[in-house]
């Protein structure tokens, strides 16, 4: 009966990558008429959080494997749209576990799962995995339109991987199939021109860029216009900064109209190095505020979806416990009739012991979940402060005090800050090896020098950093950045001296300035608390001392021990 109802594809959200802009296409059909499934479908666009709850009800209560796979796929789509790409991948892999084998009736389900797995991995920069999943999507697809969409996605993955020849081959092959669809024709034409330009910067992509822009304007394709403005801004950035600024501004306006935070951040990345210093500072402040807000929203959504699944699992466990309790009661009555009171008391004792044990186990699981949530929120707060706030403050200081700006260097710094802020909620992203750590420290400290503040560095020799673990280097870099940010904000110092000494017992760092010093009863904010925590994690010591009659001295000692492996 189920097979007779699957006559067409259920909802497929397809990421059509023209620049990095998702273009969502849908088709219909849930696997069967289920009340929770229907409720979830009604809420999918207007209230995705509520839809996720009802889809999860189907996934945990249904006995139909295809219905469970369909519900899990929708949940993964909601997670993808909320920016929880790792969570979406986890949910999609769970959906594959209910499909068992690639039979004809399951073909549309596999198409949806593999395509979204490709899109998640493409967004995360896992291009090898994205290519494999898109290839599987193409193998399973018989519909020519959907096959061309998947081939376009595969071409973009090759482009991102810098395999321009394969990307050009794919886009050229599908170009002839887009004549009847202007939006698709403009997407392929623009992607093909951009790929050829990336392969050979002497190639002129403008005729194709203009043609795609005219089609998108005529068709009122807002996502396509967003991609065209991005392509034109990138093309003109090196040769005609005024034109690049114009198109980056148009992209920013379209991104705000589409309410796409990711595209607004990308547009701001282009605007900051192109705009005048005062406007660049305003764009930088907007970038920081929007990036922080987006990251907070995505972390909230990720935790909310995890909580929904946790509560559902807990409810299922409680139902099983209730069934067990009822069965035990029936067994108790039967035993009571056969054996008598003594055995009844024994069974009652065992039941009470089991219930208490289950209750304690539930309380422990709840406590572990809440503790993990608090730790994740604390870690995210520390990362946002270290990476986004201090990094952006350093960029704004460069814009404010440098007479001549190296726009390429500034753009690289903003690109790095954007990538770190995008990935900040995922584990394993904090440590970034630096090829010349001595030069990196010099650039960090000198970056806070200005017309009113002189920064002197003593003893920063390459020998100081030999054998130091990359994790220790990364933490020390954040500590020094926090000290210099606090100096710039609060000290009013005209002279800052940072001295490095390496001895047999470890590395000794002495920071001094001639500023106003610290109050008698200082109150440490999150930044200085994070600084102390980083030093303590490395088995080090940090002390703050008043410099007479004014100024501040901070001493840091880091031992040369395996503590750096932490």
Identify whether 71 is part of a domain. yes
Output the domain CATH number for residue 500.
3.30.565.10
Do 53 and 178 fall within a single domain? no
User: Once rounded to an integer, what is the mean pLDDT over residues 119-124?
Assistant: 93
Are residues 397 and 442 located together in one domain of the fold?
no
pLDDT over 60 (residue 30): no
Lateral strand order in the sheet of 541-546: 454-458, 495-503, 506-513, 552-558, 541-546
Classify burial at 132, counting beta carbons within 10 Å of its beta carbon; exposed 0-12, middle 13-18, buried 19 or more. middle
Burial of 199 (0-12, 13-18, 19+ CB in 10 A): middle
Please, are residues 156 and 191 in contact by the beta-carbon 8 Å criterion? yes
What's the pLDDT tens digit per position in 192-214? Answer: 999 999 999 999 999 999 999 99
Q: What is the DSSP letter of 101?
A: S
403-429 pLDDT per residue, tens: 666 766 776 677 666 666 655 544 444
> pLDDT (tens digit, 9 = 90+) per residue, 265-301?
999 999 999 999 999 999 999 999 999 888 887 788 7
Please name every residue paired with 502 in a beta bridge, in sequence order, or none if there are none: 507
pLDDT of residue 378: 56
pLDDT of residue 360: 77
Q: Is residue 231 part of a domain?
A: yes
Section 249-268 average pLDDT: 93
- Please check whether residue 297 lies inside any domain of the structure: no
Pair (154, 211) in one structural domain: no
pLDDT of residue 245: 95
CA quadruple 463, 466, 472, 478: dihedral sign: positive
Q: Which residue has the higher pLDDT, 364 or 39?
A: 39
Assigned domain for 425 exists = no
Does residue 233 lie within any of the structural domains? Answer: yes
Encoding tokens for residue 430? 């904090």
Looking at the structure, do residues 24 and 138 belong to the same domain, yes or no? yes
- Residue that has been written with the tokens 């220790």 in this structure: 472
Same-domain pairing of 393 and 461? no
In sequence order, the 6+-apart residues with CB closer than 8 A to the CB of 13 are 24, 25, 26, 77, 80, 81, 116
Whether 226 is covered by a domain: the verdict is yes
Say what the pLDDT of residue 498 is.
95
The tens digit of pLDDT for each residue in 55-77 reads 999 988 888 888 999 999 999 99
The number of beta carbons lying within 10 Å of the beta carbon of residue 287 is 24
| Domain shared by 172 and 258, yes or no | yes
With respect to residue 137, please indicate whether it lies within any of the assigned structural domains: yes
Domain end (from 114, 143, 161): 161
What is the 8-class DSSP label of residue 160? H
Name the residue range of residue 252's domain: 163-274
**pLDDT at residue 31 is higher than 70:** no
Evaluate whether residue 474 is within a structural domain: yes
Element of type H or E holding 514? none
Q: Are residues 560 and 444 in the same domain?
A: yes
pLDDT at 20 over 70: no
CATH of the domain at 119: 1.25.40.10
Q: Using 50, 70 and 90 to split pLDDT, how confident is the model at 36?
A: confident
Shared-domain flag, residues 413 and 447: no
Q: Are residues 156 and 24 in the same domain?
A: yes
* pTM, rounded to two decimals: 0.57
pLDDT for 459 beyond 70: yes
Least confident among 3-12, 113-122, 345-354: 3-12
Total domains in the fold of the chain? 4
- Same domain for 223 and 202, yes or no, is yes
What was the pLDDT predicted at 65? Answer: 87
Task: Give the DSSP per-residue string, 304-341.
Answer: HHHHHHHHHHHHHHHHHHHHHHHHHHHHHHHHHHHT-H
* Report for 175-189, 323-337, 549-563: range of highest mean pLDDT: 175-189
pLDDT value at residue 325: 57
- Predicted confidence at residue 537, as pLDDT, reads 83
Q: What's the average model confidence in pLDDT over 338-350? A: 70
* Domain C-terminal end among 100, 126, 161: 161
Q: Place 548 in a pLDDT band, splitting at 50, 70 and 90.
A: low
Measured CA to CA, the distance from residue 541 to residue 259 in angstroms comes to 47
**412/414 Cα distance (integer angstroms):** 5
Are 64 and 152 part of one and the same domain? yes
pLDDT single digits (tens) 362-403: 677 556 645 654 565 556 555 655 666 667 766 777 776 666
Q: What pLDDT, on a 0 to 100 scale, did the predictor assign at position 331? A: 64
**Shared domain check, 412 and 379:** yes
- pLDDT tens digits, 146-194: 888 899 999 999 999 999 999 999 999 998 888 788 998 999 999 999 9
- Model confidence at 530, pLDDT cuts 50, 70, 90, reads confident
Query: Where does a domain end: 234, 258, 274?
Result: 274
């Amino acid at each position: 009966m189920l097979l007779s109802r699957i006559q067409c594809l259920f909802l497929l959200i397809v990421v059509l990558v023209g620049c990095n802009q998702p273009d969502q296409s849908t088709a219909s059909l849930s696997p069967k008429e289920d009340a929770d499934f229907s409720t979830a479908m009604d809420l999918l666009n207007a209230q995705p959080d509520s839809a996720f709850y009802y889809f999860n009800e189907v996934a945990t209560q249904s006995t139909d494997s295809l219905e469970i796979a369909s519900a899990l796929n929708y949940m993964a789509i909601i997670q993808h749209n909320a920016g929880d790409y790792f969570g979406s991948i986890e949910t999609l892999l769970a959906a594959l576990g209910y499909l068992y084998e690639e039979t004809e009736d399951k073909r549309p389900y596999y198409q949806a799962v593999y395509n979204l797995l490709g899109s998640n991995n493409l967004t995360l920069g896992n291009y090898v995995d994205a290519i494999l999943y898109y290839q599987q999507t193409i193998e399973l697809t018989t519909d020519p339109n959907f096959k061309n969409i998947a081939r376009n996605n595969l071409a973009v993955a090759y482009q991102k991987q810098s395999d321009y020849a394969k990307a050009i081959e794919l886009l050229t092959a599908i170009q002839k199939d887009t004549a009847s669809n202007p939006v698709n024709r403009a997407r392929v034409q623009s992607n093909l021109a951009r790929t050829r330009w990336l392969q050979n910067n002497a190639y002129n992509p403008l005729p194709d860029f203009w043609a795609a822009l005219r089609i998108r304007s005529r068709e009122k394709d807002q996502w396509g216009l967003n991609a065209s403005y991005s392509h034109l801004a990138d093309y003109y950035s090196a040769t005609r900064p005024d034109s690049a600024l114009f198109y980056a501004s148009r992209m920013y306006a379209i991104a705000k109209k589409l309410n796409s935070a990711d595209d607004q951040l990308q547009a701001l990345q282009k605007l900051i190095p192109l705009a005048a210093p005062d406007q660049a500072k305003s764009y930088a402040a907007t970038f920081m505020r929007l990036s922080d807000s987006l990251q907070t929203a995505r972390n909230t959504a990720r935790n909310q979806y995890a909580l929904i699944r946790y509560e559902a699992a807990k409810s299922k466990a409680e139902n099983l416990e209730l069934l067990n309790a009822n069965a035990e009661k029936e067994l108790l009555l039967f035993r009571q009739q056969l054996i008598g009171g003594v055995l009844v008391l024994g069974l009652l004792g065992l039941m009470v012991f089991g219930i208490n044990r289950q209750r304690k186990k539930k309380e422990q699981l709840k406590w572990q979940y809440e503790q993990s949530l608090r730790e994740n929120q604390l870690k995210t707060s520390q990362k946002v402060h270290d990476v986004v706030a201090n990094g952006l403050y350093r960029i704004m200081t460069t814009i404010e005090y440098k007479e001549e700006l190296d726009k390429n260097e500034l753009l690289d710094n903003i690109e790095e800050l954007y990538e770190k802020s995008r990935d900040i909620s995922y584990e394993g992203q904090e440590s970034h090896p630096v090829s010349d750590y001595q030069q990196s420290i010099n650039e960090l400290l000198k970056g806070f020098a200005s017309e009113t503040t002189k920064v002197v560095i003593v003893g920063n020799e390459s020998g100081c950093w030999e054998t130091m673990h990359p994790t220790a280097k990364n933490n020390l870099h954040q500590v020094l950045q926090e000290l210099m940010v606090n100096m710039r904000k609060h000290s009013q110092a005209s002279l800052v001296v940072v001295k490095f000494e390496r001895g047999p017992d470890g590395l000794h760092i002495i920071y001094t300035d001639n500023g106003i010093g610290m109050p008698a009863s200082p109150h440490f904010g999150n930044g200085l608390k994070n600084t102390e925590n980083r030093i303590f994690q490395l088995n080090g010591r940090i002390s703050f001392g008043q410099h007479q009659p004014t100024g501040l001295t901070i001493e840091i000692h880091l031992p040369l021990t395996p503590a750096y492996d932490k």
